Structure 1
Amino acid sequence: MMAFQTSKDTKYNQLVLSDTAVIKELLTFRGTVDDTNFTQGVCATNSLKMNTDVIALFADLDKLIEKSLNKEQTTLLSYIARDYSYYTIGKLLGIPVKTVGSRFNTICQKIKQENDRQWRKVTYIQKLQLKTKRCSKCHDILPATDEFFSVNNSSKDLFHSQCKKCKNK
């Protein structure tokens, strides 16, 4: 069965996950275009109402959310996707209303940073064919550069065994 583009998803044609404004819009209006809950790791059960590009965009967004956010941040996003007011979200999470907006902005920035990191990883490995190294903690295969690994002069390859993301957790 082929999914067709509807007027509901035409505005999502040229959207990319390297723009925090796009991420914010997708997360804010997710409930109107996608009836799934990204905390379950399932993408686009309402697929007959969206084209494959939009489904893929939300699937990519879900992966970035999983890789970059903690449980509290994911909970906040689920409330935003359900169109709860910042006041209601603040009450549910026990935080000031002003804090909800700033945390949402931080979440969008973290998703963008993870997207950029994943893009650089693919570019460095597949396009530039740089040497790789497996992180001893997350087991992700990453470019063996100082962008992904801290320098360790006592190591054979001059990098720590854990990637910077794992070391900073």
Structure 2
Amino acid sequence: MAYQTYKDTKYRQLVLSDVIVIKELLTFRGSIDDTSLNQGACATNSLKLNTEVISLFADLDELIKKSLNKEQIKLLHYIAKDYSYYTIGKILEIPVKTVGSKFNTICLRIKQENDRQWRKATYINKLHLKTKSCSKCKDTLPATDEFFSVNSSSKDLLHSQCKKCKK
């Protein structure tokens, strides 16, 4: 077991289905991570983290890749570096008053993608529901109206593209 510091003990029982947890992890990340966001599992500098925290950050990176665009990732980069909302607004040339709301939206999107991935795994691996591949992203998803829109002219009554790709 890796050495555990006071800072990472507070994250021990945390999950990525809580927006507040996501917000704290993204903010805290800058003090422990000397890599850029979205480049794989976090590498730590002088702090040694336990495997659960490292795994949590790796999962967070995957959710970021699946749910955010380049502009949102750029904003996260500045938040992780502990820039003020004022400075971030000036750098990204967006109104300062919207930086906080954009960060909240980012955290919500990460949570929603986490929940989606959890349901996907549960439906396929535990409930053994039938699956269908999206014609656009090629992801194999449960063949349900939660993941695909209804299409009465299709043989399986579902559209060929998943709801996420149809947006």
Shorter-chain TM-score range: over 0.9
TM-score by length of 1: 0.94
| Other-structure match for 1:104 | 103
SS in 1 for 2:161: strand
- Report % sequence identity: 76
Shift of 1:46: 1.4
Provide the rounded CA distance (Å) in 2 between the counterparts of 1:127 and 1:4. 34
Cα deviation, 1:23-77, whole Å, max 9, x if unaligned, reads 00001111112222123x2212118611110000000000000000000000000
Provide the rounded CA distance (Å) in 1 between the counterparts of 2:40 and 2:128. 32
Give every structure 1 segment of 4 or more consecutive aligned residues whose post-TM-superposition deviation is greater than 3 Å.
none
Provide the rounded CA distance (Å) in 2 between the counterparts of 1:106 and 1:49. 31
* Aligned residue pairs, count: 166
Cα deviation, 1:104-128, whole Å, max 9, x if unaligned, reads 0000000000000000001111111
Unmatched 5+ stretches in structure 2: none
**Is 2:86 aligned against 1:75?**
no
Q: How does 1:56-71 map to 2 (within 5 A)?
A: 56-71=55-70
SS in 2 for 1:109: helix
**Is 2:87 aligned against 1:88?**
yes
| Other-structure match for 1:166 | 165
Unmatched 5+ stretches in structure 1: none
Give the letter aligned to residue 57 of structure 1: L
Provide the rounded CA distance (Å) in 1 between the counterparts of 2:117 and 2:40. 21
Give the letter aligned to residue 140 of structure 1: D
Give the letter aligned to residue 29 of structure 2: R
| Other-structure match for 2:43 | 45
Shift of 1:9: 1.0
Shift of 1:97: 0.8
Shift of 1:94: 0.5
Provide the rounded CA distance (Å) in 2 between the counterparts of 1:8 and 1:101. 24
Provide the rounded CA distance (Å) in 2 between the counterparts of 1:21 and 1:142. 28
- Taking only aligned residues, the RMSD between alpha carbons, in angstroms, comes to 1.2
Give the letter aligned to residue 25 of structure 1: E
Cα deviation, 1:133-152, whole Å, max 9, x if unaligned, reads 00111111100000000011
SS in 2 for 1:162: strand
Provide the rounded CA distance (Å) in 2 between the counterparts of 1:103 and 1:19. 17
Give the letter aligned to residue 147 of structure 1: E
Provide the rounded CA distance (Å) in 2 between the counterparts of 1:8 and 1:58. 14
